[in-house]
Amino acid sequence: MSTILTPRGTPSALRRRGVTPPEGTDGRTSTSRRAGLLALFVTFSAGIHAALAPEHLKEMPPLGYAFIAAAAIGCVLAFALISRPDDPRIPLLAGLFCVGQIAAWALFVTVRVPGFAGTPEGIETIALVSKAAELAAVALAVSPALPRRPPSASAPSAP
């Protein structure tokens, strides 16, 4: 049997049978699904930072250590997101962490940073991929905090 989603997001087959739909099927992403996606983006960024740490340790040791710290913190945040998906503080912390990484990268590619001889660095594709994942993580982290718009009067209502 195929399940067709209605405008409200409730599977029509469940409504016909009078079954209560699982939590999170009201058209919004459930808390655990959002936490899982956020953990995926944070882990992806952490993996990139871990992979680039050896190269940065050779070129600029303090930056290499910062990459190791970013990878470790990202892993801890991803674990916390998965183990406590309903804690609203962890996604916000993950979002702030990703904003910090984006800001630090922007600083390192635009100006000379004291103590880091190789700055400003060139913009590399892998850095843009990492920043895209971090930006997606920020969007997921702040989306529950944004106010919801009430449905418009012209939207069709479900029977």
Dmax (CA) for the chain in angstroms is 67
Is 10 contained in some domain? no
- In the chain, the number of structural domains is 1
Is 18 contained in some domain? no
Predicted local confidence at residue 18, as pLDDT: 55
Predicted local confidence at residue 27, as pLDDT: 45
Predicted local confidence at residue 1, as pLDDT: 47
Is 62 contained in some domain? yes
Predicted local confidence at residue 146, as pLDDT: 65
Is 54 contained in some domain? yes
Give pairs for 94-99: CB < 8 Å, separation 24+. 94/38, 94/39, 94/42, 94/137, 94/141, 95/137, 95/138, 95/140, 95/141, 95/142, 96/141, 97/42, 97/73, 98/41, 98/42, 98/45, 98/134, 98/135, 98/137, 98/138, 98/141, 99/134, 99/138
Predicted local confidence at residue 144, as pLDDT: 73
Full residue range of the structural domain in which residue 49 is found: 31-141
Is 94 contained in some domain? yes
For the stretch 14-39, pLDDT in tens is 445 555 545 544 444 577 899 999 99
When computed from its CA atoms, the radius of gyration of the chain, rounded to whole angstroms, is: 21
Predicted local confidence at residue 10, as pLDDT: 47
Low-confidence ranges of the chain (pLDDT < 70): 1-29, 145-148, 150-159
Is 158 contained in some domain? no
Is 24 contained in some domain? no
- Residues 77 and 42: beta-carbon distance below 8 Å: yes
What's the pTM? 0.72
Predicted local confidence at residue 14, as pLDDT: 45
Is 130 contained in some domain? yes
